């Protein structure tokens, strides 16, 4: 059974489950798993599309070239590792041609909830400047 974690935004009263993709990138997933739990912010993209950059408390290992995927081709809800202490969460269309490893995915039935949170976070990031803290933790 796949390991799961969750992303929660207490200010919105929303928690979203996420499936870790251990079978695709086991070393990266294990390093990420060991970093849980932590709190962070979601930084909206200025030009790359519907995605967030998520700072995390540790640098994750890299992946071999055959494990890299083209970011714009991934479905919404995919979480990918930038390897330098950050993740990317795609929630819609993106245009930057990153080739990076995927590590997790939001279940399809949770995508509407993710899009609703994304709209609030984007509004805050660009207009109100309010900072919303997210908690990432293991889901047992």
Of the chain, the percentage scoring pLDDT greater than 70 comes to: 99
**For the domain bounded by 4-139, which CATH number is listed?**
2.40.100.20
At 68, phi and psi to the nearest 5? -90, 140
Average pLDDT, the chain: 94
3-state secondary structure of 10: coil
Q: Tell me the per-residue pLDDT of 38-84, one tens digit each, with 9 for 90 and over.
A: 999 988 877 788 889 999 999 999 999 999 999 999 999 999 999 88
Question: Which has the higher per-residue pLDDT, 26 or 45?
Answer: 26
Residue boundaries of the structural domains of the chain: 4-139
Could you give the C-alpha distances from 46 to 52, 53, 65, 88, 119, in angstroms and in order? 10, 11, 27, 13, 14
pLDDT value, residue 95: 87
The whole-angstrom separation of Cα 15 and Cα 10 is 8
Place of tokens 């912010």: 41
pLDDT at 1 over 80: no
Residue that wins the pLDDT comparison between 93 and 44: 93
Please compute, for residue 31, the number of CA atoms within 13 A of its CA located in the half-sphere on the CB side.
18
For the chain, counts of helices (H) and of strands (E): 2, 10
pLDDT value for 83: 83
Query: What are the DSSP calls for 48-109, one per residue?
Result: SEEEEEEE-SSPPP---GGGEEEGGGSPTTEEEE-SSSEEEEEEEEE----EEEEEEE--GG
């Amino acid at each position: 059974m796949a390991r799961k974690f969750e992303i929660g935004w207490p200010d919105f009263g929303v928690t979203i489950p996420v499936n870790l993709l251990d079978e695709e990138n086991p070393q990266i997933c294990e390093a990420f798993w060991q970093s849980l739990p932590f709190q962070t912010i979601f930084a909206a993209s200025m030009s790359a599309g519907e995605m967030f950059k998520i700072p995390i408390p540790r640098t994750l290992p890299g992946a071999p070239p055959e494990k890299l995927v083209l970011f714009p081709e991934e479905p919404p809800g995919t979480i990918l590792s930038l390897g330098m202490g950050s993740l990317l969460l795609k929630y819609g269309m993106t245009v930057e041609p990153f080739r990076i490893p995927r590590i997790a995915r939001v279940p399809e039935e949770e995508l509407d909830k993710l899009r609703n949170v994304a709209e609030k976070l984007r509004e805050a990031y660009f207009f109100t400047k309010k900072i919303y803290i997210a908690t990432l933790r293991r889901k047992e």
